[in-house]
């Protein structure tokens, strides 16, 4: 850690919150006694599945757009993504009156393609490899002059994502710990900065699928390691840590808890059945981490915040095994 300057600060998160106020939902914080009983702590769920486009990604995209110069606005924005960031950028651009170009793999689900299209973005299809995505994005950029907005390794995006934790801390009151999912690390890094500025005594714990455990391995090695053939149902968390996000996480997050896909599905079912919170697998990692941590590092914590990252699931392909249980505590 030491003296390396970080790309984003708490002041950046606070400034982002002021810039995107009114553009993004101030999402509710929900509690559920039945889940508290399971966890042995009071849990505060920050409901980013109720954010616009159903995911926290709308915060970072909105903030990045708010920082464009008039010249940049005229040329529009660009990204490559098959997930929530694509929808978030397309929708935020439409709201801001900008054009958006989205490079998407040709094997993206028709549902996601249609969603991006309905938000008025122009889609360029490419082969489903990172190289093909980057090449296609570069070609679109050369042609249009659009500004590329990275899904997580961008200072404005990180600052925007941090506003979710900023709100949670003011909504829930003092927290002993905050559990955040980690994929590329934009939400996690922004959350670290919010905590550092508002509540430095709150421990930040990262939740990660065991099938995409580059953050856990990076923490163990003390340096940023790349994903190694990641595979998990939590498809929002497949990406590796970024150049900007890793230094923030390594400086401020306490540790990473990895969870199996079966544990993620179990936690997701509990969130749906007990708390009536319709979240996607990536979001359920945070509850899975609390309920299944072999180190019991959160034992003794009385008040724990959890950021539920999103709720974009295919209702025709739910992962639940058949077993009945349908109420809320």
Tell me the three state secondary structure of residue 256.
Answer: strand
- The residue length of the chain stands at 329
Answer whether 229's CB lies under 8 Å from 221's CB. no
Residues at the contact surface with a second copy, assessed by CB under 8 A? 25, 28, 30-31, 33, 47, 49-50, 52-54, 87, 91, 109-112, 115, 269, 272-273, 275-279, 311-316, 318, 320, 322-329
CB of 279 to a second copy, least distance (A): 8
Give the separation between CA 106 and CA 109, rounded to whole angstroms: 9
Nearer to a second copy, 217 or 269 (CB): 269
Nearer to a second copy, 40 or 319 (CB): 319
Nearer to a second copy, 192 or 267 (CB): 267
CB of 48 to a second copy, least distance (A): 10
CB of 25 to a second copy, least distance (A): 8
Tell me the three state secondary structure of residue 182.
Answer: coil
Nearer to a second copy, 31 or 129 (CB): 31
DSSP 8-class letter at 48: G
Give the separation between CA 188 and CA 246, rounded to whole angstroms: 10
Residue numbers annotated as active site: 57, 309
Count the Cβ atoms, other than its own, within 10 Å of residue 29: 18
Nearer to a second copy, 36 or 134 (CB): 36
Give the separation between CA 96 and CA 82, rounded to whole angstroms: 22
The CA distances from residue 120 to 35, 76, 123, in Å, are 40, 12, 9
DSSP bridge pairs for 303? 42
Torsion of CA 290, 294, 300, 303, to 10 degrees: -10
CB of 1 to a second copy, least distance (A): 38
CB of 27 to a second copy, least distance (A): 8
């Amino acid at each position: 850690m030491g003296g390396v300057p970080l790309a984003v600060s708490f002041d950046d998160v606070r400034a982002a919150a002021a810039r995107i106020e009114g553009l993004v939902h101030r999402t509710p914080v929900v509690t559920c006694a039945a889940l508290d009983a399971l966890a042995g702590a009071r849990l505060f769920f920050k409901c980013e599945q109720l954010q616009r486009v159903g995911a926290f990604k709308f915060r970072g995209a909105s903030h990045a757009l708010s920082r464009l110069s008039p010249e940049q606005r005229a040329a529009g924005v660009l990204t490559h993504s098959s997930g929530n960031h694509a929808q978030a950028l397309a929708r935020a651009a439409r709201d801001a009156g900008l054009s958006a170009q989205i490079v998407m793999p040709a094997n993206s689900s028709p549902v996601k393609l249609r969603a991006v299209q309905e938000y008025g973005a122009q889609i360029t299809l490419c082969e489903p490899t990172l190289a093909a995505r980057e090449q296609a994005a570069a070609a679109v950029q050369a042609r249009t002059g659009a500004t590329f907005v990275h899904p997580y390794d961008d200072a404005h995006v990180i600052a925007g994502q941090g506003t979710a934790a900023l709100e949670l801390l003011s909504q829930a009151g003092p927290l002993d710990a905050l559990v955040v999912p980690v994929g590329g690390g934009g939400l996690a890094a922004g959350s670290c900065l919010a905590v550092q500025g508002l509540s430095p005594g709150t421990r930040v714990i990262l939740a990660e699928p065991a099938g995409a455990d580059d953050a856990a391995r990076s923490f163990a090695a003390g340096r940023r390691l790349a994903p190694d053939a990641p595979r998990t149902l939590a498809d929002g968390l497949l990406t590796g840590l970024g150049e900007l996000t890793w230094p923030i996480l390594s400086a401020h997050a306490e540790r990473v808890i990895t969870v199996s896909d079966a544990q993620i599905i179990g936690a997701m079912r509990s969130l749906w059945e007990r708390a009536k919170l319709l979240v996607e697998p990536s979001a359920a990692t945070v509850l899975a981490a609390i309920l299944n941590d072999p180190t019991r590092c959160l034992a003794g914590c009385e008040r724990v915040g959890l950021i539920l990252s999103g709720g974009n699931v295919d209702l025709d392909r739910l992962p639940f095994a058949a077993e009945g249980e349908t109420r809320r505590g």
